[in-house]
């Protein structure tokens, strides 16, 4: 009881520290293709009831109000803010951006699926379309070595002109995936997101259908981190950290006075 204030202020320092980490990660990813900023959500911890309202204060009287002491704060969750990042034209034929909701589906080395908005694709030695980390796009698209002028339509249809042939050939279709609760996806390294119980099952389909966004060829989606917003959040976090450390100092001084003078 005597040092409750110290512990409460410590929860404040911890929470602000975690928020700073979220902000630092957002700022670190300001140039990461397809990155979505996170926001830290605070939640106050449960209250401790010292005196219940209505409890007897004497034989005849009752406390009109209770004494409920709060026990601090914690970071409950981070929410990914899924607003669209701006599209930047690159003129590379395998740079793809999704306008609207949805993700590209890729296969990880262990065979499981992962999802990403980072559309900087390339081809590997056998012509398979892969991410910059070498993960193949799902369903797989093969681009033959003699293909020229690869075009990708807004619905994901990949076509190319093959040398020696007069007509363009369709090579496959890139499908996109959406989720009931995309903010429930778990972030992994390499700009990948994976399905969780909170995100719901992936709904695979053609780009531009059922609310899936359309594909823009020759563009990349920039990170949606807004530096000004992050800097303002950072100052707010710093100030909150400062006041919580002042509480610790203040409470310590109270205890110090008691220890020295009594």
Partner 1 sequence: MDRLIYSSLAAMRGAMGRQATIANNLANVNTSGFRGEIANAQSLWIRGQELNGRATVSDEVKGADMSKGTAAQTGRDLDVSLNGDAMLTVQAADGSEAYTRRGDLQQTNSGLLTTGDGSIVMGENGPITLPAADTVSITADGTIYIVPQGGDPQAPQQVDKLKLVSPGGSTIAKGLDGLFRNTAGGTLPSDPDARVSSRSLEGSNVSASSALVDMIDTSRAWDSQIKMLTTAQELDKSSADLMQLPQ
Residues near partner 1, by CB under 8 A: 1-2, 4-6, 8-9, 11-12, 15-16, 19, 39, 41-44, 46-51, 53, 57, 63, 65-73, 76-77, 79, 81, 83, 101, 180-181, 183-184, 196-200, 203, 209-211, 236-237, 239-240, 243-244, 246-247, 250-251, 253-254, 257-258, 261-262
Residue 161 or 247 having the CB closest to partner 1? 247
Structure tokens that stand for 22 in this block: 């979220």
Residue 167 or 259 having the CB closest to partner 1? 259
Residue 131 or 251 having the CB closest to partner 1? 251
Residue 176 or 251 having the CB closest to partner 1? 251
Residue 2 or 166 having the CB closest to partner 1? 2
Q: How far is the CB of 90 from partner 1 (least distance, A)?
A: 26
Residues in the chain: 262
Q: How far is the CB of 201 from partner 1 (least distance, A)?
A: 9
Exposure string of 182-205, with b = 16+ CB inside 10 Å and e = fewer, is: bbbbeeeeebbbebeeebeebeeb
Residue 163 or 246 having the CB closest to partner 1? 246
Q: How far is the CB of 116 from partner 1 (least distance, A)?
A: 20
Q: How far is the CB of 208 from partner 1 (least distance, A)?
A: 10
Strand pairing category for 168-173 and 73-80:
unpaired
Q: How far is the CB of 147 from partner 1 (least distance, A)?
A: 32
Q: How far is the CB of 25 from partner 1 (least distance, A)?
A: 17
Residue 28 or 243 having the CB closest to partner 1? 243
3-state secondary structure the chain: CCCHHHHHHHHHHHHHHHHHHHHHHHHHCCCCCCCCCEEEEEEECCEEEEECCCCECCCCCECCCCEEEECCEEEEEEEECCCCCCEEECCCCCEEEEECCCEEEEECCCCCEEEECCCECEECCCCEEECCCCCEECCCCECCCCEEEEEECCCCEEEEEECCCCCEEEEEECEEEECCCHHHCEEECCCEEECCCCCCCCEEEECCCCCCCEEEECEEECCCCCHHHHHHHHHHHHHHHHHHHHHHHHHHHHHHHHHHHC
Q: How far is the CB of 78 from partner 1 (least distance, A)?
A: 11
């Amino acid at each position: 009881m005597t040092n409750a204030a110290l512990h409460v202020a410590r929860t404040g320092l911890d929470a602000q520290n975690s928020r700073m980490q979220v902000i630092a990660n957002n700022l670190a990813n300001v140039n990461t293709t397809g990155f979505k900023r996170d926001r830290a959500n605070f939640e106050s911890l449960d209250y401790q009831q010292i005196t219940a309202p209505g409890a007897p204060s004497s034989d005849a009287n009752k406390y009109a109000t209770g004494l409920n002491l709060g026990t601090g704060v914690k970071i409950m969750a981070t929410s990914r803010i899924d607003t669209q990042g701006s599209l930047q034209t690159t003129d590379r034929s395998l740079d793809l951006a999704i306008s609207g909701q949805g993700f590209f589906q890729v296969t990880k080395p262990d065979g499981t699926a992962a999802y990403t908005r980072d559309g900087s694709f390339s081809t590997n030695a056998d012509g398979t379309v892969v991410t910059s980390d070498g993960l193949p796009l799902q369903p797989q698209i093969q681009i033959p070595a003699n293909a020229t002028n690869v075009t990708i339509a807004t619905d994901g249809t990949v076509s190319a002109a093959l040398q020696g042939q007069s007509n363009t050939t369709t090579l496959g279709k890139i499908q996109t995936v959406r989720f009931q609760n995309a903010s429930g996806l778990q972030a992994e390294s390499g700009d990948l997101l994976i399905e969780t119980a909170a995100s719901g099952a992936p709904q695979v389909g053609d780009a531009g259908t059922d609310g899936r966004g359309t594909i823009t060829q020759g563009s990349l989606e920039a990170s949606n981190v807004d530096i000004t917003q992050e800097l303002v959040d950072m100052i707010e976090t710093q100030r909150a950290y400062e006041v919580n450390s002042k509480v610790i100092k203040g409470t310590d001084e109270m205890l110090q006075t008691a220890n020295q003078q009594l």
